[in-house]
Structures are given as C-alpha cells and as structure tokens.
C-alpha cells in the first residue's frame, strides 16, 4: 500500500531538481494525487520569481485536482510576493487534503498557510519526512532563522592535520578526483568566501569548473585591510558572478575601494566590524549557502564565532610536519564534533563530510 511517506518521498525527489537554482527561495516539490492514488501532477520550483511548485503541479493536474491530495515539501505560502499565494490556488482547485513536510520558517508564512487552508475546509497534515525536508532546505532555514547563510567549512589537510607546508606557502594537497567533488559543491552553493590572504597567496579564480552551474556564483573576500588588488584574477571573472569584498567601514571611502569599484567589485562594510555581520551582508546578493574555502585565519574566526554549520574535510595521504599550518590553528577538532557523518575515498584522498554538532 502506498502511503503519505511514499508520496512525500516523490515530492522530495522532484524538489531536488531545483538544486542550485532557486535562492533566495527554497527548494520545493509538489505532487498531486487523486483519491484513487493516481499521480496527476508533479512539479518543482525552478527559480526565484517564477511559479511555485504547488501552482505548477496543480496546473498539470487541471480538473483532476478536485478532491485530490497535494503533497508538498514545504508549507504552501500565503503571502503576496512576486507570485500570488499558493493557498488561494489550492482552494480554487478544489484540493481536499494537503500534506506538507514542514512549516515554512518565513515570518510571512510560519503557519499562516496551514491556518488559511483549514479555514477553507482543507484537511492539512504537517510533519511527514520533516527531517529530510529541513536538510534539503538547510540554507533557506538558516537564512530565515539566523539571518545569515548556511556555512560549509571546506579544508584540505595532510594526515597530520596541516593545511600548508608553511605560513604563506601555497601547498597543493588534493588529487583530481577530490577536486571534482569540491567543484560539485561549488556548483550547488550560492557563494564562496575566502580571506584576503588566500587571494594574495593563491590568486584563485573562485569559479565552478568542469561542472554545470545554473546561477551566477557569488565570490566573497573578507578583507578588513582592503588588500585585494584590482589585478586579482577573480576580479576578471565577473561574468561568472558578482565579486563582493567585505571590509571595515573606515575603508569604504578609500582610494583602494574606489579602484575595486571601478573594476565592478561590490565593496561592502562589516556592520560593527563583526565577521557574522559580513556574512549577513551577503543576503543582499541572494545567498542562502556559503562555502568557506580559506584561509586558515578566516576559517578559525568563523569556527570561534560558532557560525560553521557543516565541515567538508579532504585528507591527503601526506605528512607536512611541525612547520605546517594547523587546521583551525590547532584547536581540538575530531569527527565527534560532527553528526550525520559521511566518509568516502576520492582517489588517494579521504573525504569526510558532516554537520556541526551543537547542543543548542
């Protein structure tokens, strides 16, 4: 017998088709099922500003939606944005029952969609596959509740926990198979962030390569002293997405800021000289998820600020020795600090991915 859980699994699979495309909106999938158990419509939200998944699925179902059950991975919206409220379309279509995986954390909704539907005699259930739905949209949930992006700390280390052979020395650790996994992550997140030291030492492009990416990729540089040169290679890649330099308010009127702005770089100030506020400033650029790639000082500061939500660790089978730069500046870190851990091999390297365990 097919259950609500089975139909919600289908909706979650459909929702994933929008991965990397929908920010600042969430990933949402919807499935319309007749009383006889026939799927007559399914759709996913494709990108911000375009129709929501529920509206698309109901349009596909047409008259067959009357008396049906609508399965959706997020509570249907009830506010007027760039598209009309989904709840109005659900009621107009004659849907008898709505099964939502999880409540929408957007303060414009937050249970309002459920209340509206129930007030219009639609039976509503919330909570089917809620854990999977939350994980699917962890960037959106973090943006709504913390007003900052979901932050993934990505680092490559040696077997002895070193990120570089010596301070200021560019050290290549990972193999091509591991590099491809890292590029796949770049294809899915909304932004990459590095420190100015990484720009000065490595001069990276910070682009998604050898993978398909649907949206422009935001590249953020945390640079309190505004050391980023206009000649940096990343500045020449604006066709791949905006480059944002986060600095202090005192630097905004400087000649260096003017030269970067002339090259098309967005220069923004930390609010109160605070790292977290810098990440929050990226919401202006529709960033729900952020890959924190380097360098060591920036990653350590983010870890100490308790804003790292997940860790992707690439461990190469080499030993760099005591002169090397330690991961997180030598702070105690073990896999026990993570939950939902996945570990796998990529060529000679080992990749460990997990969510940061928090007691609060």
Percentage of the chain beyond pLDDT 90 is 84
Q: How far is CA 225 from the centre of its chain?
A: 28
Which superfamily, per CATH, for 148-356?
A: Dihydrofolate Reductase, subunit A (3.40.430.10)
| Distance in angstroms (rounded) separating the CA atoms of residues 86 and 88 | 5
User: Any residues with CB less than 8 A from the CB of 127 and at least 6 apart, and which?
Assistant: 101, 102
User: pLDDT tens across 161-208, in order?
Assistant: 999 999 888 889 999 999 999 999 999 999 999 999 999 999 999 999
The set of catalytic residues is 54
Q: What is the DSSP letter of 27?
A: P
Residues linked to residue 219 through DSSP beta bridges, in sequence order:
192, 243
Answer whether 38's CB lies under 8 Å from 77's CB.
no
- CA terminus-to-terminus distance, the chain: 39
User: pLDDT tens across 66-102, in order?
Assistant: 999 999 999 999 987 777 899 999 999 999 999 999 9
- Look at residue 360 and tell me whether its pLDDT is greater than 50: no
pTM: 0.91
Q: How far is CA 360 from the centre of its chain?
A: 21
| Distance in angstroms (rounded) separating the CA atoms of residues 197 and 129 | 43
| Distance in angstroms (rounded) separating the CA atoms of residues 19 and 45 | 10
C-alpha distances (whole Å) from 102 to each of 49, 86, 136 are 22, 16, 11
**4-138, which class in CATH?**
alpha beta
Among 113-122, 167-176, 324-333, the range with the most confident prediction by mean pLDDT is 113-122
Cβ neighbours around 281 below 10 Å, total: 19
Token pair belonging to 82: 């760039």
How is the chain split into domains, by residue range?
Answer: 4-138, 148-356
| Distance in angstroms (rounded) separating the CA atoms of residues 29 and 298 | 36
Over the chain, what is the mean pLDDT?
A: 93
């Amino acid at each position: 017998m097919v259950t609500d859980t089975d139909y919600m699994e289908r909706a979650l699979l459909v929702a994933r088709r929008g991965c990397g495309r929908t920010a600042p909106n969430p990933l949402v999938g919807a499935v319309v099922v007749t009383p006889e158990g026939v799927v007559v419509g399914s759709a996913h939200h494709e990108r911000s500003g375009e129709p929501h998944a529920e509206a698309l699925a109901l349009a596909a179902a047409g008259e067959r939606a009357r008396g049906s059950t609508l399965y959706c991975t997020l509570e249907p919206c009830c506010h007027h944005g760039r598209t009309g409220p989904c709840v109005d379309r659900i009621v107009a279509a004659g849907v008898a029952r709505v099964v939502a995986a999880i409540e929408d954390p957007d303060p414009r909704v937050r249970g309002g969609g459920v209340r509206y539907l129930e007030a219009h005699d639609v039976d509503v259930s919330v909570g089917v596959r809620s854990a999977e739905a939350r994980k699917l949209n962890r960037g959106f949930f973090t943006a709504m509740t913390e007003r900052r992006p979901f932050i993934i700390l990505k680092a490559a280390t040696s077997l002895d926990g070193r990120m570089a052979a010596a301070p200021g020395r560019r050290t290549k650790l990972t193999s091509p198979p591991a590099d491809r996994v890292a590029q796949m992550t770049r294809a899915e997140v909304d932004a990459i962030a590095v420190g100015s030291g990484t720009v000065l030492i490595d001069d990276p492009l910070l682009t998604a390569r050898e993978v398909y990416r649907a949206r422009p990729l935001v590249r953020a540089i945390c640079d309190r002293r505004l050391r980023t040169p206009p000649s940096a290679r990343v500045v020449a890649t604006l066709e791949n997405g905006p480059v944002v330099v986060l600095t202090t308010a005192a630097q905004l009127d400087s000649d260096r800021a003017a030269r970067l702005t002339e090259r098309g770089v967005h220069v923004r100030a930390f609010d109160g000289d605070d790292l977290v506020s810098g990440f929050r400033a990226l919401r202006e650029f529709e960033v729900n998820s952020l890959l924190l790639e380097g360098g060591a000082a920036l990653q350590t500061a983010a870890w100490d600020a308790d804003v790292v939500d997940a860790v992707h660790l690439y461990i190469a089978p080499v030993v760099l020795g005591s002169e090397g730069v330690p991961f997180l500046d030598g702070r105690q870190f073990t896999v026990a600090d993570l939950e939902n851990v996945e570990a796998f091999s990529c060529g000679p390297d080992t990749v460990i991915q997990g969510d940061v365990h928090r007691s609060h």
